[in-house]
Amino acid sequence: MELTNIMYACTATLFFLVIAKYDIHMFQLSSYRNKRYFRWLVPANIISAKRMLAAFMLAAAFVPGYWGAGAAVAVTVIGYIHCFREKFKTPLAYTMRVKRLFATDILLFAAAVIAALFLADRWATVIIGAALLMSNFIMLLANIVNMPIEKAINRYYYNDAKRIIESHKGLIIIGVTGSFGKTSTKNYLASVLAEKYNVLVTPGNFNTLLGVIRTIREHLRPYHQVFIVEMGAKQKNDIKEICDLVHPSIGIVTAVGEMHLETFKSVENIQSTKFELINSLPADGLGVINIDSEHIRSYEGITSPCDIIKYAVENSCEYKAEDVTYGAGGVTFTLNGERYASRLLGAGNLLNMLASIAVADRLGVPAGKQKSAIARLQPVEHRLSMRVANGITVLDDAYNSNPQGAKMALEVLKNFDVADGCKRIVITPGFVEMGTRQAEANKELGRTIAKSCDYAIVVNATNRAAIKSGIDEGGLAEEKYFLADSLSHAHARLAGILRAGDVVLYENDLPDNFK
């Protein structure tokens, strides 16, 4: 076993730590799903800076003696500098699953290194370099190795959460789902119901089965009277799995639209999945649905005998907002003879408030307390929240990632009062994970942008051609939009055109695996 081989092996192992962290991070952003990870990997990201450095490491393996080992050291140093300078919008979350995956990943690579050193002395460095270049497949193998452990752990957590829920007699459980609007509705409902009840909500984006399980095990206490569960879905039966655990008696469906079409394949599948919540409700339960959403209004597959309450801004129903007035300071509206006022913006937020009021009426929260809670509501961060600084108004809708929600946000921008000479500006990368509909949806976004703003900045190359095509069709002059390679590039352009009195809408923000 040559000293230079050992030096190369040690260096390659150090560099593997950099690549392993990146591979696991992208795998986490792909929801730990192999198909989604491969869609990210091939073809756009198969050649990345880290993969190129790994290729140089493999090339160094063919250089004999200390020159090859020295080249490997140089590449590793460059890799660590690159890793240190790289910034992510969503950092890697070091969950216990990630730590186990990291450990298994490192052990598999270490096993390959040791085997190469002992079994193939002459070609040891080449084998190690090749393994480094194939690090993403080693990570996926580590995930396969860990699957029995992960399933056993998840089964234990599930049974423990089920035991806690079943022991909590009298708990009112409310499910909230929808293609968009569910997080805001969850938070607004919690604020209104808190006027009468002790309320627990699933925090942040804990809207998967495992997120709900974690919330139950870590946060649900005997004194809680209401548990509001946000329910997300990326494929059929995701909502049903959560309902089978928590058994809600009230369910809200906020909207059905084109989201995650890569996994759902069709809007009809999204429609039936969202209504898994309503169809899980008991006979004495309550379903609350937004009939302004076309695919909710047209759905005919409700099988639960529960009561159904409909709410809307545009269509006639029991909970229809009337005499609606929008302004920079928020919205006022009349509902069933009561006048409400809120500082929240847009029709989307108004719909979310209507759903909250409908449930609050069912649970006996007095109208006066409801109005007070509605007046105090704060916008949810990155969901059409507004802030003003140095005379610039920023509408932050960065979390929104669907055509219907974007259309609502652009409508707010279009109707926003600005002084003469001031601009309405939108910054967006468009939509992803929409399958065959992605190009057309982004083209339509471009057409809407052209009608809604004075200046547009398209970020990233992922949807650039489609959005540009739509903007051109919509008639926005070429000097009125800019194609940016990154968000920092967009901000540099924005700094050059921004003036006091302008309004800027941030519409969607692609995750790090769509750089």
Q: For 227-283, how does the pLDDT look when each residue is reduced to its tens digit (9 = 90+)?
A: 999 999 888 899 999 999 999 999 999 999 877 666 777 889 999 999 999 999 999
Across 308-313, average pLDDT: 96
DSSP symbols for 251-272: EEE----S--HHHH-SHHHHHH
Span 134-172, pLDDT tens digits = 888 999 999 999 999 999 999 999 999 999 999 999 999
Would residue 160 count as lying in a domain?
Answer: no
Residue 445 structure tokens:
């976004």
Residue 357: C-alpha distances to residues 37, 102, 183, 505 (Å): 41, 46, 16, 28
How are the residues of the chain apportioned to helix, strand and coil, as percentages rounded to the nearest 5?
55, 15, 30
Which helix (H) or strand (E) segment holds residue 76: the answer is: helix 65-85
234 and 319 assigned to the same domain: yes
Share of the chain above pLDDT 90, in %: 52
Mean pLDDT (whole number) for 208-224: 95
Has residue 428 got a pLDDT over 60? yes
CA distances from 92 to 95, 98, 127, 272 (A): 9, 9, 29, 33
What are phi and psi for residue 120, nearest 5 degrees?
A: -140, 65
261 and 126 part of one domain? no
The residue from 350, 376, 402 where one domain ends is 376
Q: What is the pTM for the complete model shown?
A: 0.80
Domain-embedded: residue 157: no
- Same domain membership, residue 128 and residue 70: yes
Its domain, for residue 288, covers: 169-376
So what's the pLDDT on residue 309?
97
Task: State whether 141 and 73 are in the same domain.
Answer: yes
Q: How many residues does the chain have?
A: 515
Q: Would residue 94 count as lying in a domain?
A: yes
Same domain, 347 and 259: yes
Query: What's the confidence (pLDDT) of residue 45?
Result: 56
Residue 515 has pLDDT above 60, yes or no: no
Tell whether 324 is covered by a domain: yes
Q: Based on the structure, what is the number of domains in the chain?
A: 3
**Domain endpoint, select from 376, 408, 424:** 376
Domain of 486, CATH number, reads: 3.90.190.20
Quick count: other Cβ atoms within 10 Å of Cβ 178? 30
**pLDDT for position 493:** 92
Give me Rg for the CA atoms of the chain. 26
Cross-strand partners of 312? 320
In single-letter form, the type of residue at position 179 comes to S
In the sheet where 286-290 sits, what is the strand order?
199-201, 226-230, 172-177, 250-253, 286-290, 307-312, 319-320
Return d(Cα 497, Cα 445) in angstroms, integer. Answer: 23
Query: How large is the average pLDDT for residues 210-217?
Result: 95
Q: Same domain for 19 and 81?
A: yes
> Do 313 and 443 belong together in one domain?
no
Q: Could you tell me if residue 428 is inside a domain?
A: yes
Residues 304 and 180 in one domain: yes
Q: Are residues 419 and 333 in the same domain?
A: no
12 and 138 co-located in one domain: yes
d(CA 212, CA 231): 8
